[in-house]
Structures are given as structure tokens and as C-alpha cells.
Amino acid sequence: MSELNNIVLKILSNKKGILAADESNGTMTKRLDSVGVKSSPESRLKFREVLLSSEEGMKNIGGVILYDETIRQKTESGKKIPELINSFGSVTGIKVDTGAKKMVNSPVETITEGLDGLRERLEDYYELGARFTKWRAVIHINKSYPSELAINANAHALARYASLVQEAKMVPIIEPEVLMSGDHNINRCYEVTAKVLKECYKELKFHEVDLKGTILKPNMVLPGDRCSIKSNTEEISEMTLKCLKENVPPEVPGIAFLSGGQSEIEATQNLNAINKINDTNFILSFSYGRALQQGALKIWGENQEDVLNTQKIFTQRSKMNGLASVGQWLKELETK
């Protein structure tokens, strides 16, 4: 297990975080459509390769989560994508769940699937170069939800997944995402996030998962996107850290927040504020998708040959989040 702990530290230490480039083909198609680019295996690879081949941008990226299609692709020069990632000292990761599916007798809640055949798929991904994995549980929140069933079922699935991943000599990312969509206030988000985390670690312990060889990927404690009462950065950082301290066991070495609908600047600013008051032994870093890629995607969509400026935007976001991961980000640096 010390080897798994070393992988965690390699991914998250020294101002590094995770690039979540594991969008499904459907999600990536929507992203490309939004900038006027036709989606295809070639165009999806082309954009990702621009980011992954950025020497400066990858300096603050300790790990990259890929989708099944991407981990099997090669660059124009014939180099395999995991080889490209590893060439910058980063670690290759892979999304292994098969998506959130509607729960029986529930109009909105979901259970994440993908346990069937997972052991065999993990062997394949290890051979392809993956050394960490991701499984996302989706927790809906409003006045009626989440139900006990949804919390328990998703925590159980996360624990079964994590135990199989460690058996395959890889690091599991535990991602129980309490969604930001809704009109709930920050106190309701805190209450639900605490409950979800508590149940997850109860199941992980029951399944004898070694927490020192895991990464937690939680949501920050935030008000819903339709909530009329907005919260400032100080409140968000204090409540997020309090929630983690009370519900995440100290053996967990690293926590990489998801951005969950925040803007690029908000995700960086809130991460920085949390680290400024971090009095724990947790490494608190980032595992961002849109919050690392959106600005670069817009530039690339305007001119797919403009690799330099696309990489420049990606490098800026990567660098800003690297600083935020140790509480050294300043707003004025955004304009430099």
C-alpha cells in the first residue's frame, strides 16, 4: 500500500492537481458543439492533445483522468496518450464507472453502475498505463432528497469499486458529488455533504479499503446555483474545511476538489481560500474539468491551428490552480 500512497503524493504534491479530461463522448460532443467544432474521435483527440503536450501547462498537472476512447488513442507522432502524459512526470488515470442510471421508483435519484466486469477492465487499463481510477456518484439535493437509499447504495458501490481498484494495484478516486444545481442554501449543502461523506467512509472501512492509498474528490460546500442567498468565499472555505475535518478520516492523504459548476475564477479563488485556513494534514488540491479547459477550448474553437494561444490559456489556469493549492493565489495574477 505504500506504493499506492506514493502515487497519491506524486499526483497531488508540489502545487500539482488533476486534469479531469474524462468527458464521455456525449459530453465532449456538447462541449465541442458549443465552440462550433464537429465532434469526432479525431477532433476530441486533437483538442486533448493540445493540452497534454503543453510543457508549461503540465507543470502543475500531477495526474490526468482519461476516458476509455482516449487512453487507447495515439498522438500524431505515434506516441500513446499515456506515454505523452508520463513524459511530463504526470500519472495516467481512467474513468471506470459506466454512468449514473435512474434508481428504481425514484423520479430523479441515480445509482452509478459499472461493477460488472470491473476486475477484468482494470487489468486492461493497468496494461494500458493507468495507475489511478475514477468513479463518480451523483447525489441530488432538494427538500426531499437525497434519500437514505441513494446515499447508502452509492456509498456501497464506491467502496466495492475502491477495493477492486486497490486489488489491481491502482489508486481509487472516491467521488461522491453533491450537485450544485438547486435552490438549497449552503447549510443544506453542508448537512447533505457531511452525511454522504460519513456513509462513504463507513462503507470503505467495512470493505477494508486502505485509505492511505485513496484520493477523495468531493464537492465544496456551496449554495445551490438557484439559491437567492449567496455565500462569500470566506463562508464557503470555512464550511468546506469544517465538513472535511469532521467527516474525512485523517489517514486520507489527499483531497482534490471538483469544480461542480463554478466558473474558472471561482473554482480557483475558493480553493485558495480553503488552503489559506487549512490546519489539517490533508493535501487540498484540484481535480477540474471545465474549470481548467473552458477558456482554452474557446480559443481553440476559434482557430484549431492556434496551438500556442490555446496552450497559453491552459497554462495560466493550471498555474493559478497550482498556486491556489498552497494558498498563494492572488487575484492580480490573473491579469499577468
pLDDT interval class at 335 (50, 70, 90): confident
Report whether 260 contacts 311 (CB < 8 A).
Answer: no
Contacts of 292 (CB under 8 A, 6+ apart): 19, 20, 264, 286, 314, 317, 318, 321
- CATH superfamily assigned to domain 2-335: Aldolase class I (3.20.20.70)
Q: What is the mean pLDDT of the chain?
A: 97
Q: Which of 175, 177, 199, 203 is catalytic?
A: 175
- Residues 57-114 have pLDDT tens digits of 999 999 999 999 999 999 988 999 999 999 999 999 999 999 999 999 888 999 999 9
- The average pLDDT across 207-222 equals 98
**What average pLDDT does the segment 45-60 reach?**
97
The single-letter DSSP state of residue 231 is: -
- pLDDT of 77 reads 87
Q: pLDDT confidence of 41, banded at 50, 70, 90?
A: very high
pLDDT of residue 336: 60
Helix axes 233-247, 186-206, angle to 10 degrees: 20
* pLDDT tens digits, 157-210: 999 999 999 999 999 999 999 999 999 999 999 999 999 999 999 999 999 999
Residue of 15, 217, 264, 319 marked catalytic: 217
**Residue in 139, 238, 239, 251 with CA at minimum distance from that of residue 195:** 139
Q: Give the Cα-Cα-Cα angle 268, 297, 86 (nearest 5 degrees).
A: 75
Distance CA 243, CA 202 (A): 16
Q: Which residues contact 91 (CB under 8 A, 6 or more apart)?
A: 7, 10, 11, 62, 63, 64, 85, 131, 132
Indicate the burial class of 127 (C-beta count within 10 angstroms; 0-12, 13-18, 19 or more).
exposed
Residues 197 and 245 sit within 8 Å (Cβ to Cβ):
no
The structural domains of the chain, with segments of one domain joined by +, span: 2-335
Where residue 143 falls among pLDDT bands split at 50, 70, 90?
A: confident
Alpha carbon distance 87, 109 (integer Å):
41
User: Residue 71's pLDDT is what?
Assistant: 98
Q: Per-residue confidence at 138, pLDDT binned at 50, 70, 90? A: very high
Residue 228 confidence (pLDDT) = 94
User: What pLDDT, in 10s, does the model give residues 317-334?
Assistant: 999 999 999 999 999 999
Is residue 308 predicted with pLDDT exceeding 70? yes
Q: By three-state DSSP, how is residue 42 classified? A: helix
What average pLDDT does this structure show over 298-314?
A: 97
pLDDT value, residue 191 = 97
3 in catalytic set: no
* Dist CA 48 CA 85 (whole Å): 11
Active-site residue, 38 included: no
Instruction: State mean pLDDT over 123-152.
Output: 97
Containing H/E element for 318?
helix 307-324
Q: Answer left, alpha or beta for residue 91, where phi above 0 means left and psi between -120 and 50 means alpha.
A: beta
pLDDT at 150 over 90: yes
pLDDT of 290 reads 94
- Alpha-carbon distance of 188 to 199, in angstroms, equals 17
First-last CA distance in the chain: 42
